[in-house]
Amino acid sequence: MIVRLGYVAMSMELQNASPSQTMTFAQFKRIKDREAAIRKLERIAESNIENCLRLLKHNVGNGVHFFRLSSRLIPLANHEELLDWNYLTPLKEPLKRLGEYLKEHPMRVDFHPDHFVVLNTPDSEILKNAVKTLSMHKALLKGIGIDLEHRCVLHVGGGYDDKEKALEQFIHNWGFISPSIQKMIMLENDDTTFTVKETLYLCEKLGIPMVFDYHHHLANHEEADWRNDWDRIVSTWELSSLPIKMHISSPRSESDFRAHADYVDPEMFLQFLDEIKGTVPEIHCMIEAKQKDAALFQLIKDLRERTSFRFLDPSSFIID
DNA sequence: GCCAGTCAAGTCCCG
DNA sequence: CGGGACTTGACTGGC
């Protein structure tokens, strides 16, 4: 079984390389000349994409081939008072450069839109905004030249005091979402509302790959033993051309259990790998730790010290 | 140059 | 029902 590790959105090691620089709407309004303000937004977005390319180069230099792109590349992209702003035109060339680099250096990249993209809302305005944000992600993927299939991880959404009803609302809303956006989606179990079993219910019904978040599962489950659902999780990936992916993080502390720790506990990870060994030919694990790439590099170091895993490259190894 | 406060979005929580 | 907490990284303002 091949295991490939990745990390999230930004680097603790590269200086001044944030892909999520921003301008709030309050700041935007304070600028008298609207055209100048829009040009500033465009400069920030271009800089974010430029930093994104630096991050990709940093990844290649360190043998990392799995990476989550920031979902905050374009500040205020979906703001209702900026509907006339065609943010894509000035970004066409920078996005193309990302795509060209990715063609030379293959890397699995995807997005995790912010948690206010909720597809199971009963409010049609909120659904409209969620779809708008997903359309931006679609445009970014197209601009880079990445196939849309399974590139956006989302949570199921709100519980609204009746989770069964909330799940049915998801199914209802799903019918109003265009196939090209449906195709982008993966669903993840969350740490407060929807468990693995509930997420699986939707994934199986609608043909959506499920991203298993081990930490969230520990925080929120009906049945503690996830292994009973593992085969079902794996099966949701049969319809995808990409290998199964999941999220790995450690709790910050017992009292602050849901928060992400700085690093990943290697013993916990090794125990987990031992459980799933041989169940899939290849798995991609997204390391979600406060220390981002530094946590990934530390985990790799820990694994090298503790195991005799055969490393294919600095961030991928084989378990027999 | 550091620390506290602000910003954005939805949901959730409390009174 | 309304206001505040939550979450995240970036940024601003006060000292």
What is the distance in angstroms measured between the alpha-carbon CA of A226 and the sugar C1' of C4? Answer: 36
Cα–Cα dist A53/A49, whole Å: 6
Mean local confidence (pLDDT), A173-189: 97
Mean local confidence (pLDDT), A114-128: 93
pLDDT attached to residue A110: 96
Confidence of residue A26 (pLDDT cuts 50, 70, 90): confident
Q: What is the CATH number of the domain that holds A296?
A: 3.20.20.150
Mean local confidence (pLDDT), A76-100: 93
The answer to whether A30 CB is within 7 Å of strand B is no
Confidence of residue A74 (pLDDT cuts 50, 70, 90): very high
Mean pLDDT estimate for chain A: 95
pLDDT attached to residue A78: 87
Which nucleotides in chain C have some atom under 7 angstroms from a protein Cβ?
Answer: 7-12
What is the distance in angstroms measured between the alpha-carbon CA of A212 and the sugar C1' of C12? Answer: 38
For chain A, the distance separating the N- and C-terminal CA atoms, rounded to the nearest angstrom, is 6
What is the distance in angstroms measured between the alpha-carbon CA of A136 and the sugar C1' of C12? Answer: 28
What is the number of structural domains in chain A?
1
Mean local confidence (pLDDT), A17-32: 90
What is the distance in angstroms measured between the alpha-carbon CA of A115 and the sugar C1' of B9? Answer: 8
Q: Note the pLDDT tens digit of each residue in A198-215.
A: 999 999 999 999 999 999
- Tell me which residue range forms the domain holding A75: 2-318
Residues in A 111-130 whose C-beta is less than 7 A from nucleic strand C are 115
pLDDT attached to residue A30: 85
The answer to whether A114 CB is within 7 Å of strand B is yes
pLDDT attached to residue A256: 87
**Global confidence as pTM:** 0.96
Specify the pairing of strand A316-318 against strand A310-313: antiparallel
The answer to whether A216 CB is within 7 Å of strand C is no
Phi then psi dihedrals of residue A167, to 5 deg: -70, -40
Residues in A 240-259 whose C-beta is less than 7 A from nucleic strand C are 258-259
What is the distance in angstroms measured between the alpha-carbon CA of A295 and the sugar C1' of C12? Answer: 30
Mean local confidence (pLDDT), A264-284: 97
Mean local confidence (pLDDT), A75-87: 90
What is the distance in angstroms measured between the alpha-carbon CA of A162 and the sugar C1' of C5? Answer: 22
pLDDT attached to residue A251: 93
Phi then psi dihedrals of residue A53, to 5 deg: -65, -40
The answer to whether A27 CB is within 7 Å of strand C is yes
Q: Left, alpha or beta for A64 (phi > 0: left; psi -120 to 50: alpha)? A: beta
Q: Note the pLDDT tens digit of each residue in A290-320.
A: 999 999 999 999 999 999 999 999 999 999 8
Cα–Cα dist A233/A202, whole Å: 12
